[in-house]
Amino acid sequence: MPRSLTIQRTLVTPPDRGKFAERLLRKRDYYAQAGCRYWVFEETGLPGAFLEFCEAPDAATLARAHASAPERVLDPARIYHEVELP
């Protein structure tokens, strides 16, 4: 099953972690309703450095979700597709 995803890197200062966590929950809920999966990872050696992944079954679904997202996506046109390995 082919999949498409986007990646966004975000740096968060310690005083902003609480607000950022709230934003992540809203994003997770929005993307779930848009038919996408959403993950967030924090760099172990650099607290406050986050990677956000948004995945959909195809590029069109992902593009629609980003176009209607309540928060701006930095580079919504940079979509990666899964490579099938033999």
pLDDT over 80 at 32, yes or no: yes
Closest to 6 in 3D by CA, of 49, 44, 63: 63
Q: Which pLDDT tens digit goes with each residue over 35-84?
A: 999 999 999 999 999 999 999 999 999 999 999 998 888 888 889 998 98
Count of C-beta atoms within a 10 Å radius of residue 43: 12
Q: How confident is the model at residue 1 (pLDDT cuts 50, 70, 90)?
A: low
- 53, 60, 44: which is closest to 24 by C-alpha? 53
Q: Return left, alpha or beta for 35; rule: phi > 0 is left, psi -120 to 50 is alpha, else beta.
A: left
What pTM did the predictor assign?
Answer: 0.88
